[in-house]
Amino acid sequence: MPASLAFTLAFALALVAGLVVKFWLATRQVRHVARHRDAVPAAFEQAITLDAHQKAADYTIAKTRLGVIEMAWAAAVLLGWTLLGGLDLLNRLLLDAMGGGMWQQLALFGAFALIAGLLELPFTLWQTFVLEERFGFNKMTWRLWIKDTIKGVLLGVAIGLPLAALILWLMHAAGALWWLWAWGVWMGFNLLLMLVYPTFIAPLFNKFQPLDDAALKTRVNALMQRCGFSAKGLFVMDGSTRSAHANAYFTGFGASKRVVFYDTLLRQLNAGEIEAVLAHELGHFKHRHVVKRMAAMFALSLAGFALLGWLSGHTWFYTGLGVQPNLSAPNDALAILLFMLAAPVFGFFVAPLPVLISRRHEFEADAYAIAQTSGKDLSAALLKLYKDNASTLTPDPVFVKFYYSHPPASERLARMAAA
């Protein structure tokens, strides 16, 4: 069997198998949540009303059903780009119009991103302005959405095109080990992004103001000092301009680290609960979860670049995915796009491993928070966040193992109670 045909069959089989598993998991989730919709689990009867429980169930079911439709559409689009010849046609049109060279390859990236974005746009709009609106979470106006979209596109062009041009140049000029140099550039870019994001990029989309609650500020600073953590500042973000969902997070790297609270979080939790949530986040740093995740990202991306370096030199990689490689022009952009399209199809089957590790990290961070603050406050905060974010209390166990990066509420609270 020719290598290109074997690769086509492997890709098609992986795509079909992935879709079957995804549909099966989604069906399990919908049925399990619907089956437990009419009764609050016994462990939560005193804290969660039936109305809140049913809202979370309905929200979860609606999101899952939308995800199923989006999943089918994404598979059809993927086939259109690859085996049905969409990417090959786009490349040929640009070659005829521009000839080969760097500008044609950058135009291929840009045209692909534009078309892909337009194809995903209906689901983005439905998610924001229909589904989230229906359950009372959307605070985004059309004007703000348009402004955010324009900013995002301009930022993507300003950052993405120079980075793409540099990697394309390395692929052409750096010899057989170009992938190692490209990996170094990619890692350097990610580290630089972590440094500049809090100060220069995030403020383009949200307003950040210093935390002005003196009592809470004193309490938070005491917690961080007790935990041996320092940050450049404590900030409140206007998350309520876009969504009613609440959160808190650390951002930045090195000296640029800062603590950010959503304004919605400060409205929903009391001072002790906010301190407990922050202690949970500090637990991730104390257990070096951030460093471990960065190391895993470095190793995985190195393997990915090495694999891309090998695949890009084989004709069957292109023809097996429905693209005829250029004979008189570089194929570097084609190789990158095909790799981006095909890798998730094969990578889907190892998806449960990173989320399993993530759930373990969450348990460790919970244990650290209980040791530093009040376990009752952390439990109360989690219950409020599950309720206010309409997170279901009864997810399907198999669905959890495959997708959930955070343990379900029942598992987290039971572990806390035991501690």
Q: Which amino acid is at 207?
A: K
Structure-token pair, residue 86: 């969409």
Query: What value does the CA radius of gyration of the chain take, rounded to a whole number of Å?
Result: 24
Task: Indicate which residue of 70, 148, 281, 364 is catalytic.
Answer: 281
Contacts of range 225-231, beta carbons closer than 8 Å, 24 or more positions apart: 226/372, 227/279, 227/282, 227/286, 227/372, 229/282, 229/285, 230/257, 231/257, 231/258, 231/259
Tell how strand 248-251 and strand 258-262 pair up.
antiparallel
366 a catalytic residue: yes
Surface-to-core class of residue 243, CB atoms within 10 Å of its CB (0-12 exposed, 13-18 middle, 19+ buried): middle
- 3-state SS assignment for residue 35: helix
281 a catalytic residue: yes
Surface-to-core class of residue 43, CB atoms within 10 Å of its CB (0-12 exposed, 13-18 middle, 19+ buried): middle
Residue pair 249/265 in contact by the 8 Å Cβ criterion: no
Quick count: other Cβ atoms within 10 Å of Cβ 362? Answer: 21
Task: Indicate which residue of 366, 377, 388, 396 is catalytic.
Answer: 366
d(CA 63, CA 245) in angstroms, rounded, equals: 15
Count how many Cα atoms sit within 13 Å of the Cα of residue 151 in the half-sphere of its side chain.
13
- Partners of 248 in beta bridges: 261
Structure-token pair, residue 39: 């009764």
Structure-token pair, residue 194: 């972590």
Enzyme catalytic residues? 281, 366
